[in-house]
Amino acid sequence: MTRIISASDAQKRFGEMVDMALREPVMVQRHGRDVVTMISVDEYKRLRRLERDALAAHEVDDDTARLIEAAEYNA
């Protein structure tokens, strides 16, 4: 679950916010709009690894692209 905190509260409670972000994402809002999310460094590194390891569409060969297009998702 993501915690939501106002920018003014984030400024006043920064240390507490860091502790919260070690456990779960903390979304900071300004005037009711999301402006930034604080996450732990481990989560950041995990997301960067996923981004780096994901194949871009142009990196997929034609046969694999056809298989992906033909695949069905069963939830």
pLDDT tens, 27-75? 999 999 999 999 999 999 999 988 888 877 778 888 988 898 899 877 6
All structural domains of the chain = 3-70 (3.40.1620.10)
pTM: 0.67
Structure tokens at 70: 């033909």
C-alpha–C-alpha distance, residues 12 and 5, integer Å: 11
Q: Tell me which of 12 and 52 has the higher pLDDT.
A: 12
**Mean pLDDT, range 6-23, rounded to an integer:** 95
